A and B are shown apart, each in its own frame.
Chain A
């Protein structure tokens, strides 16, 4: 089945130690998104790729970076995780011809814990 896969489901890292979360998709969607979701809160968009174009949200900390080496894969890099970065990180995809908003398809997320 076509889907969005996030690995790992659970990630534990140490304060200040770089960590990378990964997302892959078999949907061949042109847009990929990264969200941060803290407990009992709405998902908050960090950034997204429209094809190869990177779009950063104004309030996304510099500590967060992303890479999209090809259509299928997207990575979230946290350079120096702080305690406040503990959260669920959700990857999503959508197919977006310009001017035609379509639903997003989500992976099951990676829950990041900081020790």
Chain B
């Protein structure tokens, strides 16, 4: 299965600290995306990184991609209580494939 695995499964940190989540996948990808899901809600797209990119930033988010290790990380800096959510990585397998395969997710809790 292509499904990614995320590490850790759950993470609790103090407000203001940085949070790092990792994602590993099994086969070659076209791009990797990160999504956030608040409890009982739909998923919200955060950032997309293509297979030929190594790092991308968006506000307090930083995503890295290492295709040789088949892994990605999401860093949230200066965390806020509103960042409490589940975070999923998702991959597209090949060029032209419009399907996403989601990882298992990391449940992030920010303690005020």
Residues of A whose CB lies within 8 Å of any CB of B are: 4, 6, 31, 40-45, 48, 50, 90, 92, 94, 96, 98-109, 111
Interface of chain B residues 69 through 97 with chain A (CB within 8 A): 88, 92, 95-97
Q: Which residues of B contact A96 (CB under 8 A)?
A: 98
Q: How far is the CB of A95 from chain B (nearest CB, A)?
A: 10
Compute how far the CA of A43 lies from the CA of B88 in the bound complex, rounded to whole angstroms: 9
Compute how far the CA of A100 lies from the CA of B30 in the bound complex, rounded to whole angstroms: 9
Compute how far the CA of A41 lies from the CA of B102 in the bound complex, rounded to whole angstroms: 10
In the complex, B31 has a CB within 8 A of chain A: yes
Residues of B whose CB lies within 8 Å of any CB of A are: 3, 30-31, 33, 40-45, 48, 88, 92, 95-105, 107
- By beta carbon, the residue of chain B nearest A44 is B102
Beyond the given A4-B42, A104-B45, A111-B40, please list 13 additional residue pairs across the A-B interface where CB-CB is below 8 A: A40-B105, A42-B3, A42-B102, A42-B103, A43-B43, A44-B102, A48-B98, A96-B98, A98-B96, A101-B92, A103-B45, A106-B42, A109-B41
Q: Are B103 and A107 in contact (CB under 8 A)?
A: no
Q: Which residues of B contact A104 (CB under 8 A)?
A: 43, 45, 100
Q: A42-B104, A42-B105 are known contacts. Are A101 and B42 too (CB-CB below 8 A)?
A: no
Q: Which residues of B contact A99 (CB under 8 A)?
A: 95-96
Q: Are B99 and A42 in contact (CB under 8 A)?
A: no
The 3 closest A-B pairs by CB, nearest first: A106-B42, A103-B45, A42-B102
